[in-house]
Structures are given as structure tokens and as C-alpha cells.
Structure 1
Amino acid sequence: MTHPCITAVGTALPGPAVDNDELTRILGVNREWVDAFIGTRTRHFAVDLATGERHTTLTDLAEQAAAIAMQRAGVTPQDIDFVVLATASPDELMPATVNKVADRLGLDQIPTYQLQSGCAGAIQALDLGCLLLQRPGHDTGLVIGGDVCAKHLQLDRDFSRLPSHELVNYVLFGDGAGAVVLDGRETAGGMAVHTVLNQFTGRGQPAGQVIRWFGAADRTDDVTAAEEDYKAIERRVPNLADEILWQLLDTTGWTPEDLAYILPPQLSGRMTAKITKHLQLPGVQEISCVADTGNNGNALPFFQLDRLAGQLRPGERALAVSVESSKWLKGGFALEGR
């Protein structure tokens, strides 16, 4: 059986890394709290925290990541048959960011798709990309994920008075984008996608994360743009990650002993370590990046894939696990080196 193949990965981060010393100095919050509660060392923002100037858009980052992936795969705009972009933070509601990216890349007369979701959106985009490759004439596609969370950062606030469900967003998240070239033919040196899991699992459950969009008529000062139920996330995500792991193993027929690598959910440095320990996979190498990149949403699985691409040897197997807390989504995929 021929599986879709990831032939190249590209990633992009905006601006220099912002470490915890700089972040807590600007925000005036406790450094020890960030280290102990979040466990993320650095992140990148599309805004200058000192001046409030926004210097990078999601379109910029997605274009950069996609261009790198295309260059590494040795493909031209004429080789691309479709583009899928996943994001929770498009530059505008219209035009869709995916179409602005396609325009910059020199793509034309091809289908484009934009999926709105949080961390699991990247998995949804990969799932759609694999399905599109089954269409006649669809041989090669671009799958992109990215977020610019900085648009929700109000830097003129009194952070000492913010409740924890708001303050956590300022220290947890970062910005970035990633992309893969996906091919319907298995390619030497690529990563074959054996299966993709994309499953809603939040029936009857309150949202763990809310990000609001405001129009000119419904913007009010007493409604926050973003909030996070971090305690619910800490409680539910490890168990959901375990469910995803075993669902993927059951679907592929693999065992834990078959795995060389695990790509765990990238919520924060601290949470990732907790989840990886919970999965109990001794001898399986962890591929993580969130402690260095911050939680940049739909970009994270691509940053993990970028790190994995240089290590996965022919025949080696890897599983990626992703959990989205907005309304509780399970996502993941299984890879094998070619």
C-alpha cells in the first residue's frame, strides 16, 4: 500500500527569542512563577513587546515556511496542486490568509483551503491534505499551520491585577508557522504518513480555551479576547494523550516497542514533560520544541516534524499526539521513514 509522504518541512519564527527574564521584566510578573508553572524558556512574537509595534504577519510567516519547504523538496509553484492552511488567528477574516500566501508563492488556478482551529488544526490540515491526494491530478500539495497570538496581547495593562486565566496567555504563547510538502508517491528520504487521527471528543464538556473575535458593534471593554482553563487542561490532556497513543497504535497495528520517536502535545515545557512521563514509553525518543518556541498553536507539529526529519531513518516509526482544549479535540498521526 502506498502512503502519502512528507518530502520536506519548513518553519519560520518572527523576531529574536524572548526569554523569561525579558518577558517578566516587561510584564512585571514573577519570574519564578513562569519557570515553575509554565516551564517554557523562550518564545517569539510578531510584535515588539517594548514598543507595541507589529512587525510580522501570519502571511509573512506562512510564506517563509512554505517557501523553505518547497525549496528543500525541490518543487516549483507549477508542481503544487493544492494548499491547506490551518490557523486560529488569520490576518483578516477576509480575504483568507491561505489565498494571500498562495499569491505570494506564485500559485494560481489551484484549490485552497483554510481551516480554523487551535493546536489540532495542523492535524486536520494534514488529514485533508492526505485525502486530497486521492483525487486525480493531485500529486503534490502544501500543508501549512501557523498562528500569530500576539494580536491578542494588550501590553498597556496592569498585569499584577490580571487573573491567572488571562495572565497565562502572555507567558504561554508565541508566534510562528510551519509547512510540509506532501506527495502522493512514497519518496526515498521522506516520511510516509500511515494514518491520521482527527476526532472531536468534547460533547457535554465546557471549553478549556476561548479566543473571541470582535466586530465594531460587539466590542466591549469587559469581555476578554482570550482565556484559558489551565487546571482543566492539566487534568484532562494527559489522559487524552494516552487515548490518542493507543488509538494510533491500534489503527496501525504497531506496538510501543515498534516506536523510535514520540511527538507529544506541545502545550508548555512543563506540561509536555508531564504528558511524556504519563505515556510511559521507555526507550522512545521524545521530539519536543515548545520550551524554545513557545506555544505557537498550529505551527507546533511542523516544528516537531522539522526536528524529526533529520533523525528518522528508513523503517523507523514515529507517532505524533496532539490535543486541543478549545472544545476538546484529539489528533495525531503515524509516520515511517523511507
Structure 2
Amino acid sequence: MALSSHVEYESTTRTAVIAGLGAYVPDQVVKNEEIAARLGVTTDWIRDRTGIEQRFVLNPEGATSDLAVEAARRALDSCGNPDIDFLILATCTPDHLFPSTAPSVASRLGFKGIAAFDLNAACSGFVYALSVSTGMLATGAYRTGLVIGADAISSILNHDDEITGPIFGDGGGAVVVRAGHLGETGSVSVQQLGSDGDLLDIMKTPGGGSRQRAAGVPVDIDSSYFTMSGRAVYKHAINRMSTVSRSVLERLGWTPDDVDWLIAHQANRRILTATAEEIGIAPERAVINVDRVANTSAASIPLAMVDAVESGALTAGDKVLLAAFGGGATWAAAGLTWPELTLAPTQTVR
């Protein structure tokens, strides 16, 4: 029997409930004017193609773990700093190729000894990690966890590439999840994940892995840069996110009109609005902060969550649809009813 190309998980009793939320972007702001001067284009050229006005980037001494730790601290502060049983770090830019970055993040947060691991589903990583946490909590073996999405994409960019150079920024976002039951506000009730390895080449960093080493290809700086086929990503992102979203809505028993907020991966403004329209959700009900933080990969959805809560748009009881598409290719969607949350006093997304 052929296995399905996607994974669906729906707990009948226990599930993950979002109990805390936090996000972080570094201090350094890079405006479109700087990018435009370097690439020899206009600021309008960047804005029209991406909807992005600025992005935040780490200083040269920074790393993904720094973003993850700061975001996690804010999430923990928002819900009274509970004890944590596990930590999942969604990232495609770990501090090191080996070992996993998550144990270091856990130790820096004071949680030595807990289960901690990285998950790489690129820009879909946060929703993937949220789904994995749901499964872990549903077993009854864990009570509370941290799900973090963090990426320092600036560390793998060729900043002179006009395709990728203007699009990405660095950031981290996190949620505290606890064991709960379906029907609670904040409970993650339906998730669906998918992938297609035939789309490997539309987004990838060619060098640094065992494929390059096994082939005996010399390591060079160009192979360490992230590459992307813009047109292919645009087409597949809209198609996959809208398709998986409609499937999740059907399983939830929601119509597109029932959705108060679509919080999708902040790829670029054109993809976000086209995806909303394809699902049947009015574009004004799509949370968009890509203009201020750019595409932050696995961090983009929790960053958008924080922005929506800070602005007062996202409130308890709202029906929320999450959707993402990333390298691999991977895609994911999930539905939940938003809980009553208070952000930490230190929380702000610039």
C-alpha cells in the first residue's frame, strides 16, 4: 500500500494548548535604501516585488541560538516562567552543522536535562514543530514544552543576489505549550503536514552537507549561499498553502468566512494576499508584518502572532488558521481558537 505524501494528526482527547508567546528581532535595521544601493536597483523595485520596507539582521557575532533564547525568554515571561519538559527548535540555520542547537538553547534557559532537538522544515518549521509538540503532549509523557522558530538567514545569503538579498531578515519566535484537551481555547485541534522532495532544487543551500563531501566537490563560498527559484516558489507556495489550508478547514468544519485571521508564513506580500484569496479569505484578514521584518523563515509565524496581539487585532476567541510553505519542499497548516494571552512587559516587535 502506498503511503500518503502528507501527515495528518488529530488527537481525540489530549492536545497542545498555547499558553505563552514571545518574539525577538535583533537591533540592526537594514532599510531598502541600503539594499537598493548595493544591488543597483530602486527602493520601489524592492517594494513592488516583495512588499518589504526593512529587515533586522544579527551583528557578526550573533547566532541563531541568540535569537531563540531571547524569543523563548519572552514567551516564558508571558506565562509565569513554568517548568519545561521539552524544547523543539525549528531552524534551517543552526549554530553548527553538528551538533543540534536546541540543547544549547535549553541550557542557556536553565533547562538542562530536558528533551531538546532541532527540526528543519525551513519556513514550514514552526508549524511542523507545533504539530510534533502536539503529539508529544498527547502521549501524556510530557506536560509543558517550548516550541521555537528561529533563523539567522542573513548568515547564508549572498547579499549581492537580487533574488534573495532583499527578501530575508533574522528573528525568533516562541510559544509555550501545555497539555490540554480539544475544545479549550488555545488548543491546536487539527494539523496537516506535507512535502515533495521533487521540489528540492527550488530552494536550497548546496554546500556544507554530506552530498557535497561524498561527491568530492571542493568547498567554495558560493556553495554556502542560499539559492531560490523565485517563480517556482511563488507558484508552489500559493498552491500548497491554499490546498492544505482548505483541507484543514474542511476537517475543522470551518468555512473561509469563519476564519478571523490567516497567519501565514511571511514570504512576501504578493504570496500572502494571493494565498488568502485562493483560500477564500479576504486579504484584510491576513496578518501581514513582512513589510517591517521581511521573511524570517521559521520565525515568521510567531513574529506575526506577536504583532497581531500587540496591535489588538488578535484577541481571545478568534478563529486562527496557520499556513506555511518552505524548502524541501514542505508545507503545513493548523487551526486553533486563540487563547487569552498577555505578552511579557519586555515584549516588542519593532
TM-score range, shorter chain: 0.7 to 0.9
Residue aligned with 2:320, SS: strand
Residue by residue, what CA displacement relative to the aligned partner does 1:58-113 show, whole Å, maximum 9, x if unpaired?
1111000001000101124xx10100011000011233211111111000221112
Deviation at 1:259, TM superposition (A): 1.5
How many angstroms does 1:234 deviate by?
A: 1.9
Aligned-pair distance for 1:308? 4.0
State the partner residue of 2:73. 67
Equivalent runs, 1:1-338 vs 2, <5 Å = 1=13, 3-47=15-59, 54-76=60-82, 79-154=83-158, 159=160, 166-185=161-180, 191-200=186-195, 202=196, 204-205=198-199, 207-214=201-208, 218-220=218-220, 223=223, 225-282=225-282, 285-309=285-309, 311-324=313-326, 326-338=327-339
Distance 1:255-1:104 versus aligned 2 partners, 3 A rule = same
- 8 Å CA contact retained: 1:88, 1:117: yes
Q: Quote the sequence identity (%).
A: 25
Structure 1 residue runs of 5 or longer lacking an equivalent are 48-53, 160-165
Counterpart contact for 1:7–1:73, Cα < 8 Å:
yes
Q: How many angstroms does 1:233 deviate by?
A: 1.5
Tell me the secondary structure at the aligned position of residue 73 of structure 1.
coil
Cα gap change, 1:221/1:286 in structure 2, threshold over 3 Å: closer, same or farther?
closer
**More divergent stretch after superposition (141-150 vs 205-214):** 205-214
Listed as ranges, the gaps of 5+ residues in structure 2 are: 1-12, 340-350
Residues 215-235 of structure 1: CA distance to partner in whole angstroms, max 9, x if unpaired? Answer: 797313564622111011122
Distance change in 2, residues 1:120/1:222 (3 Å):
closer
Give, in whole Å, the separation in 2 of the partners of 1:97 and 1:181: 18
* Alpha-carbon distance change, 275 to 2 in structure 1, aligned in 2, over 3 angstroms: same
Alignment check: 8 A CA contact 1:98 1:113 kept:
yes
One-letter code aligned to 2:72: A
In the TM superposition, residue 180 of structure 1 has moved relative to its aligned partner by 0.4
Q: Is the 8 A contact 2:75 2:176 kept in 1?
A: yes
Question: Contact 2:264 / 2:301 at 8 angstroms: preserved in 1?
Answer: no
When residues 222 and 16 of structure 1 are mapped into structure 2, their CA distance, relative to the original with a 3 A threshold, is closer
Describe the superposition over 1:95-134 as per-residue Cα deviations: whole angstroms up to 9, x where unpaired.
3211111111000221112112210111111111111112
SS in 2 for 1:207: helix
Alignment coverage as a number of residue pairs? 319
Rounded Cα–Cα distance in structure 1 between residues aligned with 2:166 and 2:106: 32
Change (3 A) 1:204 1:104: closer
Q: 2:43 is aligned with what amino acid? A: R
Report the residue type matching 1:8 in the other structure: G
State the Cα deviation string for residues 159-199 of structure 1 (Å, max 9, x = none): 4xxxxxx4211111111111100011369996221112211
* TM-score, normalisation: structure 2: 0.83
- TM, length-normalised to structure 1: 0.86
Q: SS at 2:240's partner residue?
A: helix
CA distance in 1, matches of 2:247, 2:259: 14
Counterpart AA for 2:67: L
Query: Following the alignment from structure 2 to structure 1, what is the Cα–Cα distance between the partners of residues 140 and 46?
Result: 50
Amino acid at match of 1:126: L
- The letter of the residue matching 1:41 is E
Q: In structure 1, what residue type is equivalent to 2:75? A: A
Counterpart residue identity of residue 256, structure 2: P
Q: CA RMSD, aligned part only? A: 2.5
Secondary structure at the counterpart of residue 143 of structure 1: strand
Given residue 244 of structure 2, which amino acid in structure 1 is its aligned partner?
A: I
